[in-house]
């Protein structure tokens, strides 16, 4: 990832230019150096850098002018400003105009490297999403199965191979992995594509009604049967019937289902007349059917009739590489449903999604992305925009939300304290007396802290 970040370091002080450039190069970044703003403009005229780290006070062309030219000519280039305390106000104003960040001289090189890593992470995420958009645009019609991991590619190849057959197919996979999408793709690529496609969620009907739902009934066949009704098998005649959660069909109905699979005939409830149908049956379950057979809850002969060909769908945890393409796809879905297009996703939010186990698989990811897109209201998606389960998992494991760049507490505290001191000075216009009051410490304590952090600008309050 680092090698793909192209950085321009601009400073008229050779020691800073060389030492910072060397430190960035050791991290694996591509580094170019410029001794002033004019040289930097010449270098950027024919080349777009990912990141420009520039001093503000320089001869010929100053850093603020350089930043504004870059914003106009290379809006995708991020800019970090280096400034002495006296120029802090200019740096803050530049951030309001779109500069990414600033550091005050003398700065901690390790702190700056951490900020550069964040830029690299953000740009790596953007590249992944761009690849995802390209892959989605190139994806052929005929289904909404999104992914390019090896397990998904193999599943799609198997689906495309067996689609033309009329043989029954059993789709196996955890809840939320997209079993109905597979069934629809099988139908769309078959010779029955223009024929009926009927879906039955077998878990949605009580045992007393599932038989009537599948095979129909005559008027008066049972209490409440006030008129004749054709079942789902008849409705799917000539086409495809998808039996979702097929493991939930009670044993009393399984024998009738076995017969229609074997002979293509059945009798509606309350009728002695056989009905002939030509239906391709695709079934799906998240359960272990062999275990159900061993427990006496599922007929073994029916299992083999349903499982002429099987398709296994992997859980999301086994296809983490598909996260960027799935996120991009579900963002488009969210936008099509009225959400404002977000400006992007923060590295912390993406890290939280990457670490979360997603027990609900792709369906849960879709919910999370649509939830976040709505709450972001057109801004960048942050961790707090994600559903509570994901946010809670991130809070329980804060190291995951910071990626691999988790620093020792002592260093993090020093970085925060130095930055906080500088902001207090900025708020008080450089007056140390007022700064000490803001911070709730004595002037002596403030002086000691400023000295320890090499913050030695003169006190304009004296």
User: For the chain, which domains are there?
Assistant: 2-132 (3.40.50.2300), 150-314 (3.40.50.300), 317-396 (1.10.8.60), 409-452 (1.10.10)
What are the DSSP E strand ranges found in 139-179?
Answer: 169-172
How many Å apart are CA 321 and CA 148, to the nearest integer? 8
How many residues are present in the chain?
A: 462
Residue 65, token pair as written in the block: 């002018």
| Region of residue 455 (left: phi > 0; alpha: psi -120 to 50; beta: else) | beta
The pLDDT of residue 411: 57
Instruction: Report CA-CA distances (Å) from 26 to 19, 73, 111, 114.
Output: 11, 29, 15, 14
Could you tell me which residues are beta bridge partners of residue 200? 243
CA-wise closest residue to 31 among 39, 40, 41, 20: 20
The pLDDT of residue 84: 78
Separation of CA 2 from chain center: 21
How many Å apart are CA 370 and CA 290, to the nearest integer? 37
DSSP assignment of 38-69: HHHHHHHSS---SEEEEESS-SSS-HHHHHHH
Residue 244, token pair as written in the block: 């979702």
How many Å apart are CA 314 and CA 393, to the nearest integer? 23
Cβ atoms 247, 292 nearer than 8 A: yes
DSSP-derived letter for residue 3 is G
* E strand or H helix at 276: strand 275-276
The pLDDT of residue 314: 93
The pLDDT of residue 444: 80
How many Å apart are CA 235 and CA 64, to the nearest integer? 71
* Tens-digit pLDDT string for the chain (462 aa): 444 789 999 999 999 999 999 999 998 899 999 999 999 999 998 788 999 999 998 988 999 999 999 988 888 899 999 887 667 788 888 888 888 888 888 888 888 898 898 888 878 777 766 665 555 554 443 346 888 888 888 999 999 999 999 999 999 999 999 999 999 999 999 999 999 999 999 999 988 889 999 999 888 766 666 688 889 999 999 999 999 999 999 999 999 999 999 999 999 998 889 999 999 999 999 999 999 999 999 999 999 999 999 999 999 998 888 888 899 889 988 998 889 999 888 888 888 898 899 999 999 999 999 999 999 999 999 999 999 999 887 666 554 444 444 444 555 566 667 767 777 777 777 788 888 877 778 888 788 788 777 776 543 333
Residue 69: other Cβ atoms inside 10 A: 16
| Burial of 374 per CB tally in 10 Å (0-12, 13-18, 19+) | middle
pTM value surpassing 0.85? no
CA-wise closest residue to 213 among 256, 172, 276: 256
Cβ atoms 284, 172 nearer than 8 A: yes
CA-wise closest residue to 37 among 69, 5, 14, 83: 69
Give the side-chain half-sphere CA count within 13 A for 317.
9
Residue 181: other Cβ atoms inside 10 A: 17
Residue 323, token pair as written in the block: 């996260």
Cβ atoms 84, 16 nearer than 8 A: no
């Amino acid at each position: 990832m680092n090698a793909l970040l192209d950085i321009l370091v601009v400073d008229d002080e050779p020691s800073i230019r060389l030492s910072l450039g060397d430190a960035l190069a050791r991290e694996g970044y591509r580094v170019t150096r410029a001794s002033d703003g004019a040289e930097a403009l010449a270098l950027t005229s024919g080349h777009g850098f990912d990141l420009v780290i520039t001093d503000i006070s320089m001869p010929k062309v100053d850093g603020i002018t350089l930043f504004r030219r870059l914003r106009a000519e290379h809006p995708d280039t991020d800019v970090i400003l280096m400034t002495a305390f006296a120029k802090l106000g200019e740096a803050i104003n530049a951030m309001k105009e779109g500069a990414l960040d600033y550091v005050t001289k003398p700065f901690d090189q390790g702190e700056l490297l951490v900020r550069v890593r964040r830029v690299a992470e953000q740009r790596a995420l953007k590249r992944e999403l761009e690849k995802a958009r390209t892959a989605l645009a190139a994806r052929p019609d005929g289904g909404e199965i999104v992914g390019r991991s090896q397990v998904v590619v193999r599943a799609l190849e198997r689906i495309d191979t067996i689609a033309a057959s009329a043989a029954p197919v059993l789709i196996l996979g955890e809840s939320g992995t997209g079993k109905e999408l597979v069934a629809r793709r099988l139908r769309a690529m078959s010779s029955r594509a223009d024929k009926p496609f009927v879906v039955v969620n077998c878990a949605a009907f009580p045992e007393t009604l599932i038989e009537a739902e599948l095979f129909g009934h005559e008027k008066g066949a049972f209490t409440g049967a006030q008129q004749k009704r054709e079942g789902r098998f008849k409705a799917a005649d000539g086409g495809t019937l998808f039996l979702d959660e097929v493991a939930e069909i009670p044993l009393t109905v399984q024998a009738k289902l076995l017969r229609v699979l074997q002979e293509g005939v059945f009798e509606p409830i309350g009728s002695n007349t056989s009905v002939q149908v030509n239906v391709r049956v695709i079934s799906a379950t998240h359960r272990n059917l062999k275990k159900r057979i061993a427990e006496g809850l599922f007929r073994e002969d029916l299992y083999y009739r349903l499982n002429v060909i099987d398709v296994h769908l992997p859980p999301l945890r086994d296809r983490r590489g598909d996260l960027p393409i799935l996120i991009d796809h579900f963002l488009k879905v969210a936008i099509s449903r009225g959400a404002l297009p977000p400006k992007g996703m923060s590295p912390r939010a993406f890290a939280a999604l990457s670490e979360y186990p997603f027990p609900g698989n792709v369906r849960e990811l879709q919910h999370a992305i649509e939830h976040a897109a709505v709450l972001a209201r057109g801004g960048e998606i942050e961790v707090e925009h994600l559903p509570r389960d994901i946010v809670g998992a991130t809070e329980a494991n804060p190291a995951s939300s910071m990626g691999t760049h988790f620093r020792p507490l002592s260093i993090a505290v020093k970085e925060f304290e130095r930055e906080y001191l500088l902001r207090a000075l900025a708020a008080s216009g450089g007056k140390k007396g007022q700064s000490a009051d803001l911070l709730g410490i004595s002037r002596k304590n403030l002086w000691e802290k400023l000295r320890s952090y090499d913050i030695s600008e003169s006190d304009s309050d004296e």
